[in-house]
Amino acid sequence: MTDTPFVPAPRASSPVAPDASCVLLKHGEVFLKGRNRHRFVDRLHDNLRIALRGIGGSTWIKIAQNVTVLGGQVPQEALVERARRVIGFNSVEPAVRVPSTLEEITQAAVRALRDVSTERPGRGFAVRVRRRDKQFPLTSSRMAGHVGARVLEAVPDLHVDLTRPDIVLAIEIDRKETYLSWTRRPGLSGLPVGASGRALVLLSGGYDSPVSAHRAMRRGLACDFVHFSGAPYTNPASVYKAYALARELNRYQPPGRLHVIALGKAQKQLAVAGAGRLQVVAQRRLMVRTSSALAARTGAQALVTGDSLGQVASQTLANLVAVDEAADLPILRPLIGWEKQEIIDEARSIGTADVSVLPDEDCCQLLAPPRASTRAELPHLRAVEKRLDLDEVTEALLGNVQVMLPGEDGEAAPPPTPACPTPEPA
């Protein structure tokens, strides 16, 4: 077969400025969603718009098949940073866009690879072309060959390597515009936040619950948070931590609210009622009972905790089952099979570890027995709870909830006013 020289057909001129920078966002699991797909994609774009609030310049979003193009009057790196926190994109690729003509595309490719080769000379490259517009006069493979040859001519420092290239130049040809990208940053993948409903996360100050919240978000749950402090018997450090954690987590979702509940007095009531070695499990039951009632106000369909099976005494199977019994809603435990080190590594990568490591006075340490029971005895727990008027206790707890919205719009939010600044002796 002879390879006839190609003469590009004249195409309508496009309004796109040459080399306008933009960002390509490749869709993750939403593209498996069949008939419901538009619902997921709409949600993904709503979340993206919310994540772009306060970025400091105008932005635009263009929606194509399985890819979203993002651009605007802001530095490309700022767009990449924001987009990488939006759950539901598999990859985030800084790109340039040019009109879909052979010459514009080729020149942009040469410019891009010349810049790359100045930074990293002597590298192997490959050109991968995807033609979404089948009207484009060259097939994908011929276009790749054409661009590759022109790059080789213009940038002799590079060589072609189709099997293990150091640089992959991706060219995606749409009808009017073509996108060229050569760096690919991983996105968070998963389902768009909100696509699976709402949940209420029990957020302590440790490593586990923030990671668990993040995992829940990645499966499409929009999360509100509840933190139980030991007030009035503990200092407010745990509240500050919960606030900072919720703020960090809110950068991955349309901001959720943080509810802070002072549990100290109720903890003392449980101790006085004779909880003994079951004190921690009794407290946990009270937390989920109260959280279930709170969920009715926040519209949550499930609770989320950071439990990991067997990690500590309160997380044995028997104790988890005893806690489940007290909840009116399903308790989701995304970290049930995770090791502590995996959790800490993930906390580092999502940015919550720096807060979790700070010291605090966790309400669970307050009144904790020297040896906690690993086998909750339900009759004993029920007997202890019977000595209290649980409805009254829960009502009192919910009557004094402090509600905050950490980090809305990416702006600095006011720090929380602690429920009780000066701890009383327990």
Amino acid occupying residue 313: A
Choice between 129 and 258, CB closer to ligand ATP: 258
Could you tell me which residues come within 8 angstroms of residue 395 by beta carbon, excluding any fewer than 6 positions away?
none
d(CA 123, CA 161): 9
Tell whether residue 292 is a contact of ligand ATP (CB under 6 A): no
298 binds, among Mg ion, ligand ATP, none (CB under 5 to 8 A by kind): none
| The only residue of 89, 125, 182, 228 in contact with ligand ATP, by rule CB under 6 A | 228
Tell whether residue 206 is a contact of Mg ion (CB under 5 A): yes
- Closest CB to ligand ATP: residue number: 206
Tell whether residue 206 is a contact of ligand ATP (CB under 6 A): yes
**Which residue blocks in 71-219 are alpha helix, DSSP H?**
76-83, 102-119, 140-154, 208-218
Q: How far is the CB of 303 from ligand ATP (least distance, A)?
A: 8
Exposure on the CB side of residue 178, measured as CA atoms within 13 A: 29
d(CA 421, CA 426): 15
Tell whether residue 204 is a contact of Mg ion (CB under 5 A): yes
Tell whether residue 311 is a contact of ligand ATP (CB under 6 A): yes
What 3 state SS string does 268-330 have? HHHHHCCCHHHHHHHHHHHHHHHHHHHHHHHCCCEEECCCCCCCCHHHCHHHHHHHHHHCCCC
d(CA 211, CA 203): 10
Determine the interface stretch with ligand ATP among 25-33, 44-52, 80-88, 198-206 (rule: CB under 6 A).
Answer: 198-206
Determine the interface stretch with Mg ion among 140-148, 200-208, 342-350, 380-388 (rule: CB under 5 A).
Answer: 200-208
d(CA 155, CA 157): 5
Determine the interface stretch with ligand ATP among 8-16, 165-173, 304-312, 369-377 (rule: CB under 6 A).
Answer: 304-312
Determine the interface stretch with ligand ATP among 156-164, 300-308, 388-396, 397-405 (rule: CB under 6 A).
Answer: 300-308
Residue ranges in contact with ligand ATP by CB under 6 A: 202-204, 206-209, 227-228, 287, 305-307, 311-312, 314-315, 363-364
Residue ranges in contact with Mg ion by CB under 5 A: 204, 206
